[in-house]
Amino acid sequence: MSRGGVEGFRGDRLRALRKDARWSLAKLACVADSNPNTLSRVERGLQLPPPPLLLRLADALTVEPGYLAPLPSGTDGPTLRQLRERTGLHGTELARTLGVHQGTVSATERGVSHPRDVDAWAEAYGVTAKEFEAAWKKGRAHTAASR
């Protein structure tokens, strides 16, 4: 499976929505500005879509991105990376939005550093400050567990 795509993406849901719409892979590829071969790999779980493609697919099929790539819930809540992916942004794009270096975004998502202006960061991730803090702590715990 390719790296760098949206974790938790459900290719089976993409295929079901496409078939319900009676669209071919070529039609969906055209509407979502992709190509049929990529979409075939995504549907079969051989490739994860990058964040911008997730948004284009959700828009084309008139569903929320979270339907195609559900976030973890309950005690296993989402990380900042998972939240960012659902906004359709790469780390470099989020860094540009926040006026910081991409390394700062990466360190923050891993819970290695904590931003001073949590409200601005939360807004960029499309969540409340409380949700941002919970996701930051999740990333920190994941980083600590992998060492």
User: How much of the chain exceeds pLDDT 90, in percent?
Assistant: 81
- Any domain includes 27: yes
Grade residue 74 by pLDDT with cuts at 50, 70 and 90.
low
pLDDT value at 77 more than 90: no
Q: Which residue has the higher pLDDT, 146 or 109?
A: 109
Give the closest residue to 114 by CA, choosing from 137, 97, 93, 81.
137
Give the type of residue at 142: H
Are residues 16 and 61 both part of a single domain? yes
- The backbone torsions φ and ψ at residue 53, rounded to the nearest 5 degrees and listed phi first, read -70, -40
Grade residue 2 by pLDDT with cuts at 50, 70 and 90.
very low
Give the closest residue to 38 by CA, choosing from 21, 25, 51.
25
- Any domain includes 75: no
Residue 117: give its domain's CATH number: 1.10.260.40
- For the chain, give the secondary structure using H, E and C: CCCCCCCCCCHHHHHHHHHHCCCCHHHHHHHCCCCHHHHHHHHCCCCCCCHHHHHHHHHHCCCCHHHHCCCCCCCCCCCHHHHHHHHCCCHHHHHHHHCCCHHHHHHHHCCCCCCCCHHHHHHHHCCCHHHHHHHHHHHHHHHHHCC
Grade residue 71 by pLDDT with cuts at 50, 70 and 90.
confident
pTM: 0.80
pLDDT at 7: 87
Site of tokens 């990333």: 139
pLDDT at 147: 73
User: How much of the chain exceeds pLDDT 70, in percent?
Assistant: 96
Are residues 93 and 140 both part of a single domain? yes
- Any domain includes 126: yes
Grade residue 22 by pLDDT with cuts at 50, 70 and 90.
very high
Give the type of residue at 129: A
Structural domain of residue 132, as residue ranges?
80-145
pLDDT value at 3 more than 60: no
Are residues 42 and 86 both part of a single domain? no
* d(C-alpha 27, C-alpha 46), whole Å: 20
